[in-house]
Structure 1
Amino acid sequence: MKKYLYIIIGTMMIGNVFAQNKNMTDTIFSIREVEVVGTNLKKNEVGKLNVPLQYLPLSVTTVSANTLDMRGIVNMQDAVKFLPNTRMRTTYGAYQQFEVRGFDFTPIMIDGVRDERTSITNSAPLPDLSSVESIELLKGPASVLYGHSTVGGVLNVIRKAPTSKNTLNALMSYGSWDNKRAMIDFGGKFFGPFNYRAVVNWSDNEGYRYTNDKRFSGYFALGGQLDAKQELDIRAGFNRDWYGTEIGLPQFMANDVYNADGSKYLSKGDMLPGLNRRWRYNNESDFMKNNGSNVSVRYSNKVSESLKIENRLAYNYDNIDYFSTETLSYMESADPIYNHYYMKVDAKTKEQTKQYICLDTVQLTYPLRFAYTVHVINEQLEASGKIEFDNGMKYNYLGGYNFVYFHRNTYRGYGGTNPQTNKTYQLSDLIDGPGLNSKVPVYNPHSMGYMDPHFSAGTATRNITNGVYLQNLLELSDQFKVMASGRFDHFLFKTATATINPISKERKYSDQPEFDKTTTSSFTYRLGAVYLPATNLSVYGSFANFFMPYRDIVSSNIIYINADGNRFEPKDGDQAFKPQTGYQGEIGVRYSHNNILQATASAFYIRKNNEKKTLKTGVVEDGVTKSVVGVVGSSESKGFELELTLTPVDNAALSFGYGYTDATIRDIKKNEYMEEEVQKGMRLAGIPKNTFFAAGNYRISKGMFSNLGFNLTVSYTDNVYRTVDKGVVYPAYWLTDLGVSYKLKNGIQLRANVNNVFDEKYYNQSLGTQMVPSMPRNYLFTLAYSL
């Protein structure tokens, strides 16, 4: 496939996606080829209502495709640097977890349709950005707009729309560590009233850490005006991605470590000396495949100015297949058979004894095998419009119904019961080959043999969500706007534990019992007001709430504690716990000046209640050992954001963003099982307090160097605790990226990018205490053509 794609691109030399003309009706502001990052006062899609953003009491930031393309960015984890108060966490080499304003439940949408995978664990591999037109981030709780589990906000990925203009673009790029990519993008008139757009992207990357990731995706959009009132838009996409997975370097020291003679060798938290940051400890059998596809149909009919009907039906399919080494264990012994030791403390007696540890070898003790298939149907029916009154007041509304069906079957290669012995399967029962428990040298590691895993059990889950909502924006005058919106959701969750007998490499349940189920209902709202003392200045305030349903099935092995700290006894089929709830209060200001300056500032406070905590384990009642679980926790996040976009001349643009978040654990409701609040006031894990970026583009417009362009990006991420006890800390880091481009008169464009210019050595992910080194200085060279 890659050979033919290169031949097509190299022969036709057709277009690139980087030079796209926009006007002031777009959600982002562009000046020819100099694109601006930031917020804009024009209409946005994520806010739903068909009014300018300055009329809404919301905080929205937009990043354009051009901003990303000029910097060679095609992955979401690199794009979020332009979104203050956010962080994209990568785990296992492919799973992305998005955090905004201190909380990590921020669903991701594609063209306004939720990716329901990110609503469950907020962790899923994301497709590349080759077909993306722009990215919009609505910050803060948004349950009133998009339903459950929208705590930090909502990220909307907007793909390229069909175009009537003949468009034919392509690029080829090559970078450090054999990073190869080819992309083709074309569109124009199709037939009758319909236009189209198509994108194909391929990449193959050995990678700094030898992950050898491979990605292939395609996108097609067809749309047009059926008549003066009716519009039809059909979009479809697919991805076929393969990842090598990532388990990092051997664990850093959990204790002070001593030489055999008693002299200190390493301190707690130290990494082993002399490790090469490129060394890879994964087994040769490790992999993750992600195959996905989606299709959506949107039909709209503008009956009149006061009534527009729109229906959007979408189907998504996702297939994950995963096996990875994961845990790297040091071998230990109470006997002095190794050259180093640490002092082991007995949990009960507190007595210390020497525990000898081998630091020149790691053992592959717990590889993880799982897979799942997901089918999602999402139906949205909306009616919207504007009504103008004789006194000059205007009423904007949007009412709708949303139905979501989520179907997932999971298959796992751990746990499960052997029907012959009636005992739980051990990994040795499920994994063939010499790789399991193999010993890999710490220095100059290499695979010690393959592993061939089998499935032993599974879980089937179904979610069904029904939501009705109404947004109201009343324009009292040119200066005053008032919003009152509400939504009611009913959430049904069903689950069943399935068996796979005998163990198999195939995804097939041998037995699936009846589903257990639980339901949750919730009403959410947003109230807000906007004041515009001038047409280019708006001040707003809003208050909104959210909810997150639990998916717990009532169990006889659990002692249940409610939000008041009291014990209660839910019955089978009941809601085990009330959902997590919370709210946000926000104030902000927006200002623009003659398309030269755009500035926004916002301050927020978010509280989350009914957080589930395991309070105690090993409690014996009536001969049954139980765990105590209660929704007694709460947390809060407060902070602010500043964003500025400056375009002093038509060939230069500057943008800046700063975010501050103070996210901490609040009170834990006292109860008979837990009286001491050991975590109160602790900083939440995964959240940097300070984030910053500065980005600039400049293009020479006259003289012998005309069409020579430059771009600069500087970003900062504060230190991050992986766990609240600070067991793992990712230090703060600065990154500087530079780019240069030159556009020839025949449409060819040459680009060169240098990322991490100052070769910062940093970490921003790990598997437990196995730190994953991030990329040092790297290069990317691109040849592009625009017809």
Structure 2
Amino acid sequence: MRTLPLPRQRLLNASLAAAFGTVITFWGLSASAQTDAQPTPANASTGAALPSVTVTPDAEENGHVNGYLARRSTAGSKTDTPIIETPQSLSVITADRFQAIGATRLRDALGYTPGVNIAPFGSDSRYDWIAVRGFDAYSPGFYEDGLPLRNANSFSVWKTENYGAERIEVLRGPASVLYGLSSPGGVVNVVSKLPTATPIRELQLQVGTNNHRQVAGDFSGALDADGKVLYRLTGVLRDAQLPAGKMADDRTYLAPSLTWKITNDTTLTLYAQVMRNRAGVYTRNRPWAGSLVPSAIGTFIPAKLFQGNPYFDHFNQDQELFGYNFEHRFNDTVTFRQSARAGRLKVDYRGLQAPSFATVNPDDEFDPVNFQNLSRSLFGSRESVRAFAMDNQAQVDVRSGDWKHKILVGVDYQHNNFETNSYSGGTAPDLNIANPYYFNGPFEIPDPYEMNATRLTQTGVYLQDQIKWRDTLQLTLGGRYDTAKSSVFSRLDGTSTTVSDHKFTGRAGLVYLAPNGWAPYLSYSESFQPTGVVDPVTNEPFKPESGRQYEVGLRYQPPGTKNSFSAAIFDLRRKNYISYDTEFQPKQTGEISVRGLELEATTQPTDRMNLTASYSYTPRAIVTSSARPEEIGKQANAVARNQLSAWGDYRFTNGIKVGLGVRYTGPTRGNGGGSPIKVPGVTLLDAMVGYDFEHWSLALNVRNLTNKTYIANCDTPSQSCYYGDQRKVLATATYRW
């Protein structure tokens, strides 16, 4: 414990608007969530002495961090652990950080994070498609507050709201010991805003491109004089349009929560999230002939062409989540925690897809009339989800001499029911490239190709021991046994398929904690994911695919600073995935190898400046085994050899703040590695300018500052390419009192 001085009020004048100490006073927070917090000098303007307050170093209230640097996280261990002691790559993007860069979507918030591709399918209004270390993070889904937002490789994907988040955590590499079935690339966990004892009163207004208009509010505090009952209410109301077709992009989000401190050792938090999305469909996919390379007659399709149809396309999604977090500390040794959540989701989606050139003269493939129109088909799906998840944890903290043990025993369970009714094909009017006209039909909707009822269940039992010796060496050992079952009933033909899987996964990591802030580590981790596919030869289900990773890393947090640096070298393999031979028969022979280096830095050179930077070098991301020999040696998912990003912002004493970011992604051969030429690399700029005064904070953010037109990726099987996001301008006014 130590004492830090504070100012008398949040802002004395505009010249102190950006000063850190004034923010402390307004919120009534401890001086910093970091151990390196420095005393704030007496008021520079008046010379008045400042009152003091006692604070606890490293305090973080319900996941909130002041500034860009988080020092603790539960994502890498399911226990409250310093990040420097976590033997695996972990990035935490705080709310202050993703608000500064103007990120309104989860994928945008991860744009400055190493190892993450935020646009594997270019600009897409439907979901936050991302890839981590070369592997799709879309399936089996993100996590929120440590519980899964599961999907079943359909369009029933839970959405998250950045304004409702305190932080976004990315644990890179296999993590099944903690989370059960998961992608080998890693886990993304969103930490929600929950009640705080510190009063919060905030209103926010936004206007921007595409008729974006939004109002949001965040309120929290105590309901009683003793501070035993806390509340929080966060909400968003958005009225906007997509970048083309004058289609809606509207959202209503409401997240109430209540915390009851039953005793000093027992806490219960109840929460809910309700989201309504009413939108069209905006994607920017094109044939690669006419986008990446010229068409057969040397022409290109205009990048701004909207290939959908505003009369037909829509994407409406309703979702509700209801849950609780319970914690009871029996004594200084044993703590029990239980988290549970139930949810419902409905999706009504339809849109035009897969444009290709409409052949008018089949006798002459080079006839210019064959490259004047785009032919499109229809896709639609009505889906619903009922989901339940629970995680039970018993933590035992034991100390004997120089040894400390933090033992975690857990049992988690999830149950998900999916209903899908999907169609693909049909016909729609051709679209003239030079003179597009969006007819209201005729649209001939085909019969459904899928009407399935899918049930997914999983039960996992896990054990972890974090063993520390003399606060110098920490060994983390973990193991988990999962039982997973999937049942699919086809309402089209009455058939039913059930697949049961059992899998043990392990994890081990060692960290050396030097007193000067250096922390080298090494680790091994595993993942698994059921295939849900039956071997046509044996009529037995294929065993789960697996992932394994070796990682060697180094972290450095100089004492007395707000700086953090990390480096990691990894060897990651996805094994036993299903590939299909030339007869389209499944074989469990697939393997993908990814090796790379990742660097990340979060620094505060001065009290008014923040800098973040990341670099990913991935020289190997290839298929090493497949039922199709032509796939071997190529990339399954596009991974750039070099990816670099950096963001810096500065707050002047007069309240003005400025920020600039750069994001570079190197060239690739696209998904499948078969694009006719390399997809060019791209450098994008983001910028921010703002002004803080009294109770106001104003900011103007521009993403893709130069409005660069670029292709984000291409896909070999469909021979299509995806254009990236256009420029987005967003003005935000936030009032706090």
Report if TM-score (shorter chain) is over 0.5.
Answer: yes
- Note the residue ranges of structure 2 that are not aligned, 5 or more in a row: 1-22, 35-56
CA distance in 2, matches of 1:307, 1:101: 37
| 2:141 paired with 1:110 | no
* 1:397-425 CA distance string (max 9 Å, x none): 111101110100111235xxxxxxxxxxx
From 79, 87, 94, the counterpart of 1:64: 94
Count of aligned residue pairs for this structure pair: 674
Counterpart of 1:77 in structure 2 is 107
The separation in 1 between residues aligned to 2:362 and 2:664, in whole angstroms, is: 47
Larger Rg: 1
Residue 699 of structure 1: aligned partner = 651
Say if 2:226 is the partner of 1:226. Answer: no
Instruction: Tell me if 1:608 matches 2:574.
Output: yes
Q: Which residue of 2 aligns with 1:360?
A: 372
- 1:406 maps to which residue? 416
Cα displacement (A) at 1:449: 2.0
Please report how far the alpha carbon of residue 135 of structure 1 lies from its aligned counterpart in structure 2 after TM superposition: 0.7
Summarize the alignment of residues 369-518 of structure 1 with structure 2, pairs less than 5 Å apart.
369-389=380-400, 391-414=401-424, 436-450=427-441, 451=443, 453=445, 456=448, 457-499=450-492, 513=494, 515-518=496-499
Aligned partner of 1:331 in structure 2 is 358
Once residues 76 and 269 of structure 1 are traced to their aligned partners in structure 2, the CA distance between those partners, rounded to angstroms, is: 40
Counterpart for residue 623 of structure 1: none
Change (3 A) 1:316 1:688: farther
Q: Which residue of 2 aligns with 1:645?
A: 602
Call closer, same or farther: CA 1:648–1:783 in 2, change over 3 Å. same
**Partner amino acid, structure 1, of 2:548:** Y
Q: Could you tell me how far apart the structure 1 residues matched to 2:80 and 2:111 are?
A: 28
User: For residues 136-155 of structure 1, what are the structure 2 equivalents within 5 Å?
Assistant: 136-155=169-188
Question: How big is the shift at 1:780?
Answer: 1.9
1:517-596 aligned at under 5 Å gives the runs 517-534=498-515, 536-553=517-534, 558=536, 560=537, 569-570=538-539, 574=540, 576-593=541-558, 594-596=560-562
Cα displacement (A) at 1:750:
2.1
Question: Which structure: greater strand fraction?
Answer: 1
2:53 corresponds to 1:53: no
**CA deviations over 1:71-125 (Å, ceiling 9, x no partner):** 32111121111211101334753133321112124741111111111x6469836
Cα separation, 2, equivalents of 1:409 and 1:254: 38
DSSP-derived class of the 1:589 partner: strand
Over 3 Å counting, the alpha-carbon distance change for 1:680 and 1:250 in structure 2 is closer
CA contact (8 A) 1:439 1:448 kept: no
Deviation at 1:26, TM superposition (A): 5.5
Change (3 A) 1:148 1:58: same
Distance in structure 1 (CA, Å) of the matches to 2:457 and 2:177: 18
Measured in 2, the distance between the counterparts of 1:551 and 1:144 equals 21
Bigger shift: residues 210-219 or 369-378: 210-219
TM-score, normalising length: structure 2: 0.85
Aligned counterparts of 2:306 and 2:130: Cα–Cα separation in 1? 28
Seen in structure 2, the aligned counterparts of structure 1 residues 61 and 271 have a Cα distance that, compared at 3 Å, is farther
Shift of 1:548: 1.3
Q: CA deviation at 1:707?
A: 1.7
- State the Cα distance separating 1:770 from its structure 2 match: 5.1
List per-residue Cα deviations over 1:220-267 (Å, max 9, x = no partner).
Answer: 12113211110111121021112311343653428999xxxxxxxx55
Cα distance in 2 between the residues matched to 1:59 and 1:33: 19
Tell me the TM-score normalised to structure 1 length: 0.80
Change (3 A) 1:218 1:662: farther
C-alpha distance in 1 between matches for 2:736 and 2:623 = 55
CA contact (8 A) 1:485 1:525 kept: yes
Asked if 1:715 corresponds to 2:663, the answer is yes
Q: AA paired with 2:128?
A: Q
Q: Is the 8 A contact 2:635 2:671 kept in 1?
A: no
Match of 2:730 among 760, 766, 780: 780
Question: In the alignment, residue 66 of structure 1 is paired with which amino acid?
Answer: D
Deviation at 1:35, TM superposition (A): 2.6
Deviation at residue 285 of structure 1 after TM alignment: 1.3
AA aligned opposite 2:234: V
- The answer (yes or no) to whether the contact 2:638–2:713 under 8 Å persists in 1 is no
Say if 2:198 is the partner of 1:165.
yes
Deviation digits for residues 295-330 of structure 1 (CA, Å, limit 9, x no counterpart): 111111011121101111111222111110113243
Quote the residue 2:633 is aligned against. 681
Runs of 5+ unmatched residues, structure 1:
1-15, 258-265, 343-354, 415-426, 429-435, 500-511, 561-568, 618-626
Separation in structure 1 between the aligned mates of residue 59 and residue 589 of structure 2, nearest angstrom: 42
Per the TM alignment, residue 577 of structure 1 is displaced from its structure 2 partner at its CA by 0.9
Is it true that 1:42 corresponds to 2:72 in the alignment? yes
> In the alignment, which residue of structure 1 is the partner of 2:710?
762
- The answer to whether the Cα contact below 8 Å between 1:370 and 1:410 also exists between their aligned partners in 2 is yes
User: Does the CA contact (< 8 Å) of 1:636 and 1:664 recur in 2?
Assistant: yes
Write the distance in 1 (CA, Å) between the matches of 2:733 and 2:456: 46
Could you tell me which amino acid in structure 1 is paired with residue 550 of structure 2? G
The letter of the residue matching 1:495 is V
Alignment of 1:297-336 (within 5 A): 297-332=324-359
Are the counterparts in 1 of residues 307 and 355 from structure 2 also a CA contact under 8 Å? no
Mapped contact 2:289–2:295 kept (Cα < 8 A): yes
Counterpart AA for 1:93: S
1:202-281 superposed matches below 5 A:
202-210=237-245, 211-248=247-284, 250-253=286-289, 266=294, 272=300, 275=302, 277-281=304-308
What amino acid does structure 2 have at the position aligned with 1:483?
T
Worse-superposed segment, 57-66 or 46-55: 46-55
1:668 Cα deviation after fit = 2.6
1:96 is paired with a residue of what secondary structure? coil
- 1:23 is matched with 33
Q: Which residue of 2 aligns with 1:5?
A: none
Q: Secondary structure at the match of 2:330?
A: strand
Structural RMSD (CA): 3.0
Give, in whole Å, the separation in 1 of the partners of 2:100 and 2:321.
28
| Matches of 1:636 and 1:376, distance apart in 2 | 33
In the alignment, structure 1 residue 188 sits paired with structure 2 residue 221: yes
Q: Alignment partner of 1:358: what SS? A: helix
2: CA distance, partners of 1:100 / 1:271 = 35
